Every structure is written in C-alpha cells, then in structure tokens.
Structure 1
Amino acid sequence: MNVAERLVEILEENAITHIFGIPGEQIMPMYKALAGSDIIHVLMRHEQAAAHAADAFTRTSDTIGVCMATAAPGALNMVMATAAAYKDNIPMLILTGDNDLDKRDKNMFQSLPLRDVFANITYENYSPLNGTEAIYALKAALYGLKNNPKGPIHINLSRDVLLSEDFQDFDLCYLCESDMSSLESAQELIMKAEKPLFVLGAGAIPQAENIKMLAEMYKIPVTTTYNARGIIAEDEPINLGLVGIRGTPRARKAIEESDCIIALGSIASERTFPQIDEDRFIHVNINKDVLKGKYQIQGDVEEVIMTLEFKKVDWIDELLAIDNEITVEGVDDEMKPQAAIKRILECFDDNIIVADAGSHTTWTTLLYNAKKPNHFLFPAATAPMGYGLPAGIGASIATGEKIIVINGDGDFQMNLQELATLKENNLDVIVFILNNSEYGIIRQWQEDFYDMDAYQTDLANPDFLKLASSYGIDAVRITTLFDLEYFLEKDLKGPLVVEIKVDKENIPLPE
C-alpha cells in the first residue's frame, strides 16, 4: 500500500462521501487510489468551481466538503474560492498535488511555493515531507475540521510522497484549545444585565434548538449575522432579524440599547459591528484569532451556553413594538430585478437559495425570509463572482434536494462552464439569470461616488438559451412579470436555465 491509498482509506474512515476536483499529473496517485474507493468524485470544469462546490457541500450537509487539484495551475485556480471560504469560516479540505520533493518550490515546470500561497487563506496549511507526515496531516486536518471548525485546511502533497510505501501509521492524541478565563466575569455581566441580547453567527447553528430554548425561556431577544440567518425562523417573535449594516430596525435598536451583547459563533466583523463597546461585549468563538471585546471566551458554543446561567428579563416587548418591515421599492414594477426576485422567493420559499455576487444578492437579502439555517448561501465576506452555479451543484449533491440559483448575467459567466457538470450529474438545480447586460453595482458606484459616466460596465452577452442548449440543458427566456408568474406556477425541475430580462436598477445603499 502506498501513501495515496492510505490517505483515501482515511477519508473513507472519516465518512467523506464526495470529492470535487479535476485530475492532473502531480495529484494522479490520489486519483488512482480514489478510482478503487467508495468515494464519489465529481468532475468539475474549473478548480475555482470545485472549491465553491465543496464550500456549499459543507454548509448544507453534516460532512466535510473536499476539493482536489493538481500542482500550480490547478491549485492556483482554487485560491479565490478558498479565500471566500476562509473569510466565511467554512470548514473544508483542500488537497493539492505538487512536483517531487527535489523539484518543489524551485523554478521548475508547474512549481510554485503553494504552502506560502495558501498560508493566509487557510487556518491550517500542511506540506508534508514524507508519508508519515502526510498521514498525520490528513488525520489532524479531518479532526480539526470536525471538532475545531475554524475554516478551510490545505494539504499540499508531492507526487513522490504519495507514491511512497514508506510510512508509519498511528493514532493521534488530539486536544482542542479553549480559554474559559473570562467566563466568570462574563457571568457577572449577564446577571447584572437588564437588556441582554444574543447575536448568533454560523458557529452557533449546531446549537439552534438549545439557543432558541434559552431565548424563549428567559425572553432574551436574538439577532443573526448573514451566515446564521434562519437559525431561528425570522418570523418567530424572539428573532429580531439581521444585524449589521443591512440590519432590521429592531436589530439596530437592540444593538444600540443592549447592556450585554452575547455574540455566539460570530467573527464580529465590521459589517456586523461597525463599533464595539468592549465593556458590554461577550464574545464566544472556537477560534481565538477572531475574539473581540473585554469578555473573550475561546471555546465550543454548546459548552459555554450550557455552563452560563441566565435570568429572565423584560425588554423584548418594546423591541417588538418597532415596525420591523424593510420597504423595498419597485417589487411590482415591470421588469425590475427586485420584482422578479420577489416572485422567485415566494415560489421557492422552502428551497435552498444560492446567490452569487452582484446587485441581485442585495435584492435577495432584502426580500428573503429565512426559515432554516444554511438555506440562503452566498459568499458574504469576500463576495467573488462565480460562486452561484458551482455552489448550487455542491448543495444539490449534498442534499439531493431542488436548489434555486439566482445569478446576474455578469457573475454567471464567471463559471458558466459548470453547466456541463450540472448536466452530467442531472441535478435538480434551476438557474435564474437576471440579465440587464451590465455590471450594475460597478456602474452605480461610478455614477454615484466617482461622478463619472458608466465606463466598461456594459456587457455584450451571449444567447443564454443557446448556451444552455449546447450543454443539453432546457432553457427559457422571460420578458414580462406576467409571464414569470405564469411560468413559476409550473412544476419545474432542473437542470434548467431561466433567463429573465430585467431593467437596469440601482440597489438601495445601507443607511
């Protein structure tokens, strides 16, 4: 048995079911081992798409998403998507191949210092020098991704290391870091507080039921970050809605008036907390590098909330008296993008919605009513174009459910080649392309903030119907709101591409 074969066995032992990738010379030993395994390989058409698919697979399943590519050309294509996962704290595994050890990191064909490249966009980054180190790296990575899920982990594997039969295999002794030194002082703040507030991030999703029970029992209101939307349904009275620069009126008021903010599993970014009052901020996260405020607790959310004590408070009624409705203009105007998106969301309100990066994401965020966690996916913190279609593929493979992708015409073209993957796997994914023949947000910035005419933002788009047809995928074009409403009444099944011709429209900017 060589190292590659043992690595694939370890992946199987850890219940890895799928790998998204593209084969290549240096990673070929892994593919040879994979061909004889029970793991399903999903052949993507671009490595960036493979990493986005693994990202969405992690978000929508109980299993770690894995992507794989060969040396520098393939690995570098994964950088943008890995960075997006890193900024959103998505635990996923990136495996890259490399040249033999004596050629690695030198000025040789397809060699670049990949460990250095991935160093700032992953939480762990291994480059093993022998078989024993490779096996250690994979075991440690998988344990960390499951039990200490800070974000993506990268392992760079030289071809000769993968082919080696010289290795030692042993069980590892694992220890997760924690620091509960602020727990006692945080407890004192909670017991003194008359207006405590939970702010939930993605790291709190596994504890949704426990947090809801605590919130309802002690009448502590809840707000959520983008990535935690739906952890408690947004139509539940205890949930004040989204917090941050696009926060709801109730959430904004709660942040202003709370005397004890308890942030659970959130990175507390500047988009969520433009300013932090350290004296009233309790921050719980498994990743010590993101902790902020006076009361920093590094640890598992479940352990912390089950250790802390809470008291019943009485301030939620004054928050519920605030009108929480966010008015979106133009939702009944023909053919505004927000009008089309409103009807798509109403039709598919129980389905996973995947957005990309663009003006449509803003409209979707404003109009979406989250009922479950991880049912609205988009790359929140980095916002690269090209996420939507491959993420829809990853979510579909993870869940087996119908997935709705909302794209703009610009971002769709960043990874449109994945229509081939969509068709090959016959996935029930419906891709809506809102076509206004421009990079709309860029045009808006040029006009509003730089006092200039639109420059290099108009798009000469292909015929999206013919494009989809060339991949063997059914497609339809819609030009009126009436036709869209009629079309959405049908029993739609993917793979399907729906182009909707919409007007140019400025997004509402945050207050």
Structure 2
Amino acid sequence: MNVADRFVQILEEEGIVDVFGIPGEQIMPLYKALSKSSINHVLTRHEQAAAHAADGYYRASGKIGVCISTASPGALNFTMAVATAFKDNIPMLIITGDNELKYRNTDYFQSTPQVNIFKHITRASYNPLNGTEAMYVLRAAIYELKTIPKGPIHINLSKDVLLQEEFNDFDLCYLCEDDLSNLSKAQELINNSQKPLFILGAGAITQKDNIQRIAEKYQIPVTTTFHGKGIIPEDNPLNLGLVGIRSTPRAKYAFENSDCIIALGVKASERTFPEIPENLIHVNINKDVLIGDYPIHGKVEDFLLETRFSKTNWLDEILEIDNRVEIEGLDDDLKPQAAIKRILDKFADNIIASDAGSHTTWTTLLKRSKRPGQLLFSGAMAPMGYGLPAAIGASIATGEKVIVINGDGDVQMNIQELATIRENNLDIVMFILNNSEFGIIRQWQEDFYDMEPYQVKLHNPDFAKLASSYGIDGARVDNIKDLELLLEKDLTGPFVVEVVVESENIPLPE
C-alpha cells in the first residue's frame, strides 16, 4: 500500500462519499486509488467548476466538499472558486497534485509555488514532504473541517510522495482553544436587556433547532445574514428577514432599537454591520472576524449552553411594522424580477442556486427560505460562473431537484458543465435570463461614471439549441404568459429554459 491508497482509505473512513475533479499526470496515483474505492468521483469539465461544485455540495447539505486537481494548470484553475469559498467561510478540502519534490522552486515544466498561492485563499495550505506528513495533515485537515468549519483547507501532494510505501499513520486529537472570558460580561448585558435581537449567520446553521427553541420560548426576534436565511423559516413571525444593506423594514427597526444584539456565527462584514454597535455580542469560532466589545471566540453551541435568556415582550411592537419590501415591475411582461418571482413561486420548496449579477439581487430579495441551504450564491466574492456548478454539487449532495437562476453573461463562464449535468442525469432545471448585456456593469457605467454603455452588450447563442447539443431538452419564452404556461408543467431536469427579458436596473441599497 502506498500513500495514495491510504489517503483514499482515510477519506472513505471519514465518510467522504463524493469528490469533484479532473485527473492529470501529477495526481494520477491518487486517481488510481480512487478508481478502486467506493468514493463517487464527479468529472467536471473545468477545475473552477469542480471547486464551485464542492462549495455548493457543502452549502446544500452541510457535508464536507472535496475537489481534486493535478499540478499548476489544474491547480491554478481552482483559485477563483477556492477564494470564493474562503470569503464565505465554506469548509472544503482542496487536493492538488504537484511535480516531484526535487523540482520544487525550479522552472521545471508545470511547476509553480502552489502552496504560496493557496495560502492566501485558504485557512491552511499544507505541503507534506513525505508520507507520514501527508497522513498527519489529512487527519488534521478533516478534524478541523468537521469541528472548526471556518474555510477551505489545501493539501498539495507531490507525485513521489503519493507513491511512497513507507510511512507512519496515527490517530490525531487536539482541541480548539476557545476564549469564553467575555461570557459573564455578555450575560450581564443580556440580563439587563429588554429588547434583545438575534442575528444569525451560516455559522449558526448546526444549532438551528436550539436557536428556534430559544427564540420561540423567550420571544426573541431573529434576523439573518444572506447565508443565514432559513435557519428559522422565513414564514415564522419571529424571523424579521435580512439585516444589513438589504434589510427588511422590521429587521432595520429591530437592529436600530435593540439594546442587546447577539450575533451568532456571523462573519460581520460591512454588508451586515456598516457600523459596529456598542451592544454587540459576537460569537464565532473564527477569532479573526470577531468585532465589538463582547467578542466570544467559541462555538455557538457552547455559548447557547452557557447562556441564560429571559422572556421579552417587544415582538408585538416590531410586528406592527409593515415588512413588505416594495419591488416594482413584478407584473410587467418582460421584467427580470417578474420572471424570477414566478420561478420562485413555482419552486418555493426547492434549492435555488443563483450566480452573480442583477438576477441575484432580485432572487435574494424575493426568495423565502424554509430551511438552510435553500438559496446558494456567493456573497463576499461573487464570481460569475458560480451557479451552474454549485447546483451540480447541491444535486449530488442531496439528490433533490435544484433550480438554477442564471444571467446570460455569467452562465457562459461555466456553461461547459451542461455536459456534467447530462452525464450524471441530474434533476437540475436552469433558467437563463437573457437581456443580452452585463446589466449591473451597464448600470454602473450610466449611473456612476456618466458614460454610454461600453463593452457590455452580448451577442448570445440560442441557449435552448445549445442545451440540445449537450443532449438536454430546452425551451425559450419571451413573455410572462408563456413562462407561466411552461411553469404549469412538471419540469424535470436536465432542462434549460431561456427567458428573454428586457434591460432593467436593480434597486441600490439605501
């Protein structure tokens, strides 16, 4: 048995059942081991898509996403997607192959300083120099991904290390060094509070049942970040909706009037906290993102176990506020928001994968999530080309129908993954909103730079015919009535719908 064989065995033992990637020369020993394993390998057509798929796999299911590439040409194709996961704190295992150790730091064919590149966009980037180190870093990586899930971890494996047959393997155990020293001070703030408010981020998903129980028992209102949507169903009166730059009226009022804001598993970016409140209790396992006067470095679970809450009575005050977010054009024939509203109404209980662009704004404003992982999109990096491969990962992870809402610009960044969808016969229904432009860029050019649209017009293919060339059925609609008629059918993927829409500006945050 060599390192590659044992490496794959450990993945199996740790419950990894699916991986995404593309084989290549330097990673071939690992692929030989994979070919004899029980792990399902999903062959994508581009490495960026493999990493986005691993990202969507985790967001939809909470299971570790794994992606694999060969050396530099493959590994560097990962970087955009890995950076996307890093910015959104998505735990993924990134495995790259490399040339033999003797060629490190040389100009040898396909050699680049891969670890130095990945260390800036991962929680850790490991470069084992022998088989024993490879075993150690794999076990350490999986332990951290499972217990301290705060971002992707990279392991770079030289071909000669993978082929080594003499190595030591061992169990690994170490503890996360929490800092709960501010807990008593936070408890005092909670005790003196009359108007507490929860803000929930993705780091609170695993505690959704506990949080809902506490919120309902003590009538504590809840707001969420984009990635916390659905931790408490958005049709629950306690859930006031999004907070931050896209805040709902109730969430905005509660945030401005709360005397104790409890942020659980929130990254605390400028999109959520343009200014840091003085009464903020911030709980996160990632100490690097903690802000405010009451930072608590630890697990949300531990904080909830150690904290005592009291019944509040300010929810009725908040519920008097009309929480409707007015969106114009929902009944206009060719408006993108009108099309998206009808798509979301039809697929209200399905996983929705969005991308980057004006359609993402409409989707996030209109989507109501009943559980975590129902809306997948990249928040902090927002690369074009995310939606389609993320949907692949979500479909593989859950076995559920996944709906993709794409723009005509971003879908063409990774449209080759239609082949992956067809090959795996995934139940993915993709809606491409075609306005023949990069809409947000055109809006910025006109509104902020006082210029005529420049290099934003797109001469697009017939997307339904393009889908057909991949062996996927498709349709094209150019008005709301025809879209409604199509949505009355039982659409089963793989299926592509091109929806012709007109140019439309998105509402900018206040």
Residue 375 of structure 2 is matched in structure 1 by 376
3-state secondary structure, aligned to 1:122: coil
Deviations 1:292-349 (A, max 9, x none): 1111111111111111011112211111111100011001001110010000000000
* Distance in 2, Cα, partners of 1:259 & 1:62: 33
Structure 1: stretches of 5+ with no match in the other structure: none
Deviations 1:94-115 (A, max 9, x none): 0000000010232111111111
* Distance in 2, Cα, partners of 1:348 & 1:335: 20
Deviating 4+ runs (over 6 angstroms): none
* Distance in 2, Cα, partners of 1:505 & 1:79: 32
3-state secondary structure, aligned to 1:102: helix
CA contact (8 A) 1:363 1:507 kept: yes
* Distance in 2, Cα, partners of 1:177 & 1:348: 43
3-state secondary structure, aligned to 2:432: strand
Deviations 1:456-496 (A, max 9, x none): 00001112122111111101100111110000000110000
1:36 equivalenced with 2:36 (yes/no): yes
* Distance in 1, Cα, partners of 2:352 & 2:427: 13
Correspondence list, 1:46-61, <5 A: 46-61=46-61
| Residue identity opposite 2:210 in structure 1 | N
Residue 323 of structure 2 is matched in structure 1 by 324
3-state secondary structure, aligned to 1:10: helix
* Distance in 1, Cα, partners of 2:244 & 2:442: 25
CA contact (8 A) 1:478 1:501 kept: yes
Correspondence list, 1:425-464, <5 A: 425-464=424-463
Structure 1 position 40, deviation (Å): 0.5
* Distance in 1, Cα, partners of 2:105 & 2:69: 17
Residue 312 of structure 2 is matched in structure 1 by 313
CA contact (8 A) 2:105 2:112 kept: yes
Deviations 1:399-436 (A, max 9, x none): 11110000000000000000000000000000100000
Deviations 1:100-154 (A, max 9, x none): 0010232111111111101111112111111000010100000100011111100
Residue 292 of structure 1 is matched in structure 2 by 291
* Distance in 2, Cα, partners of 1:288 & 1:234: 29
Residue 97 of structure 1 is matched in structure 2 by 97
* Distance in 1, Cα, partners of 2:208 & 2:183: 21
* Distance in 2, Cα, partners of 1:255 & 1:70: 48
CA contact (8 A) 2:61 2:373 kept: no
Residue 508 of structure 1 is matched in structure 2 by 507
3-state secondary structure, aligned to 2:313: coil
Correspondence list, 1:99-248, <5 A: 99-248=99-248
* Distance in 2, Cα, partners of 1:230 & 1:169: 41
* Distance in 2, Cα, partners of 1:97 & 1:15: 22
1:499 equivalenced with 2:498 (yes/no): yes
Structure 1 position 173, deviation (Å): 2.1
* Distance in 1, Cα, partners of 2:461 & 2:2: 48
* Distance in 1, Cα, partners of 2:6 & 2:34: 10
CA contact (8 A) 1:250 1:323 kept: yes
Deviations 1:6-57 (A, max 9, x none): 0000000000001100000111110000000000100000000000000011
Structure 1 position 177, deviation (Å): 2.0
Deviations 1:376-402 (A, max 9, x none): 000011100000110111100111111
* Distance in 2, Cα, partners of 1:324 & 1:183: 33
Q: CA RMSD for the aligned pairs?
A: 0.7
CA contact (8 A) 1:15 1:63 kept: no
CA contact (8 A) 1:196 1:262 kept: yes
Structure 1 position 62, deviation (Å): 4.0
With normalisation by structure 2, the TM-score equals: 0.99
Residue 5 of structure 1 is matched in structure 2 by 5
3-state secondary structure, aligned to 1:206: helix
Number of positions where the alignment pairs a residue of Structure 1 with one of Structure 2:
510
With normalisation by structure 1, the TM-score equals: 0.99
* Distance in 1, Cα, partners of 2:224 & 2:143: 28
* Distance in 1, Cα, partners of 2:105 & 2:311: 59
3-state secondary structure, aligned to 1:498: strand
* Distance in 1, Cα, partners of 2:105 & 2:276: 43
| Residue identity opposite 1:78 in structure 2 | F
Structure 2: stretches of 5+ with no match in the other structure: none
Residue 471 of structure 2 is matched in structure 1 by 472
* Distance in 2, Cα, partners of 1:16 & 1:235: 34
Residue 362 of structure 2 is matched in structure 1 by 363
Deviations 1:256-299 (A, max 9, x none): 1111110000111100010012x311110011111111111111
* Distance in 2, Cα, partners of 1:343 & 1:336: 11
Residue 401 of structure 1 is matched in structure 2 by 400
* Distance in 1, Cα, partners of 2:403 & 2:174: 40
| Residue identity opposite 2:477 in structure 1 | I
Deviations 1:336-370 (A, max 9, x none): 10010000000000000000001000011111111
CA contact (8 A) 1:402 1:429 kept: yes
Residue 270 of structure 1 is matched in structure 2 by 270
* Distance in 2, Cα, partners of 1:295 & 1:63: 31
